[in-house]
């Protein structure tokens, strides 16, 4: 069902915007203080190099954090002014701010409830959260060194309008660091959308297999959490949303109905 809704929403921007906004407003109402991430995660297929060292308090969220790390590591963020669009429950902006050390990080989300949760939960100098729309961002033109966007853009009404906004708010030479899933025919259009907005693609990686590996490894833990916090009526919906092993959304990643891509783009000087 969730898979069908995502497919339908590919063809109707208004339906897509309505559907996802209602869903995330609802989710933001869950006052679970340690629930900080809403992405499918990332785990390398071959252990290459050093494993990301995390504080013990960050370990439970390793796979979601690794997705952020993979996206954010495309460029050096230390000392920069950055924003994350679609920051959700705020764990990603907090991780990037603490480990990649930008000078300032602003998480933006459409859900006012999620923003209030983040403002209470993640309090650090230089880290802030604001309510706003990805397609009409409240940032000055040419004010940001980098914009991050993790597993949020599939909710937007217009990808070209969003990427146009990213181009506007980036300084010349600034970077757009992106990851999300799509059906393959829509994923194939992404490079054209980035380039038509005036961004150059500097890195691209299909990460479906790595996301699937994270989903497999994290399924048992996530299911236990869902069983603790979600009523039995809502459990089937949440199993799909979280792409728990055995759900149709997990199958969609296995059989190629959904593919997951990461890009790093640059606004030319």
Query: What is the contact surface with ligand SAM in residues (CB under 6 A)?
Result: 20, 24, 37-39, 85-88, 92, 109-111, 114, 133-135, 150-152, 155-156
CB of 268 to ligand SAM, least distance (A): 26
The residues near 231 (Cβ < 8 Å, ≥ 6 apart) are: none
CB of 149 to ligand SAM, least distance (A): 8
CB of 269 to ligand SAM, least distance (A): 28
Reference 177, options 141, 159, 203; nearest CA is: 203
30 or 173: CB nearest ligand SAM: 30
110 or 260: CB nearest ligand SAM: 110
* Residue facing ligand SAM at closest CB distance: 88
CB of 123 to ligand SAM, least distance (A): 18
Characterize 200-214 residue by residue with b for buried, 16 or more Cβ atoms within 10 angstroms of its Cβ, and e for exposed: eeeeeeebbebbbbb
38 or 144: CB nearest ligand SAM: 38
CB of 112 to ligand SAM, least distance (A): 10
6 or 190: CB nearest ligand SAM: 6
86 or 102: CB nearest ligand SAM: 86
CB of 51 to ligand SAM, least distance (A): 21
List the structure tokens of 4.
Answer: 């069908």
156 or 258: CB nearest ligand SAM: 156
């Amino acid at each position: 069902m969730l898979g069908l809704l995502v497919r339908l929403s590919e063809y109707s921007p208004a339906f897509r915007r309505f559907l996802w906004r209602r869903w995330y407003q609802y989710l933001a109402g869950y006052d679970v203080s340690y629930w900080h991430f809403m992405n499918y995660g990332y785990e390398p297929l071959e252990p290459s190099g050093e494993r990301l060292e995390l504080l013990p308090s960050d370990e439970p969220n390793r796979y979601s954090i690794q997705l952020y790390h993979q996206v954010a590591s495309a460029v050096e963020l230390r000392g920069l002014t950055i924003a994350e669009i679609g920051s959700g429950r705020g764990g990603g902006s907090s991780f990037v701010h603490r480990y990649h050390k930008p000078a300032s990080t602003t998480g933006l989300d459409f859900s006012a409830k999620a923003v209030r949760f983040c403002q209470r939960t993640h309090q650090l100098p230089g880290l802030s959260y604001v309510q706003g729309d990805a397609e009409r961002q409240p940032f000055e033109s040419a004010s940001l060194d980098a914009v991050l966007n993790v597993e949020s853009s599939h909710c937007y009404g217009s990808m070209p309008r969003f990427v146009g906004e990213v181009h506007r708010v980036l300084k010349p030479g600034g970077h757009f660091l992106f990851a999300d899933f799509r059906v393959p025919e829509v994923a194939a259009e992404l490079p054209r959308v980035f380039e038509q907005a005036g961004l150059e693609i500097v890195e691209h990686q299909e990460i479906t297999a790595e996301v699937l590996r994270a989903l497999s490894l994290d399924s048992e833990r996530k299911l236990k959490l869902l069983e603790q916090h979600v009523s039995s009526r809502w459990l089937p919906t949440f199993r799909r949303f979280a792409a728990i092993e055995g759900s149709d959304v997990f199958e969609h990643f296995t059989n190629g109905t959904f593919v997951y891509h990461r890009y790093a783009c640059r606004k030319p000087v």
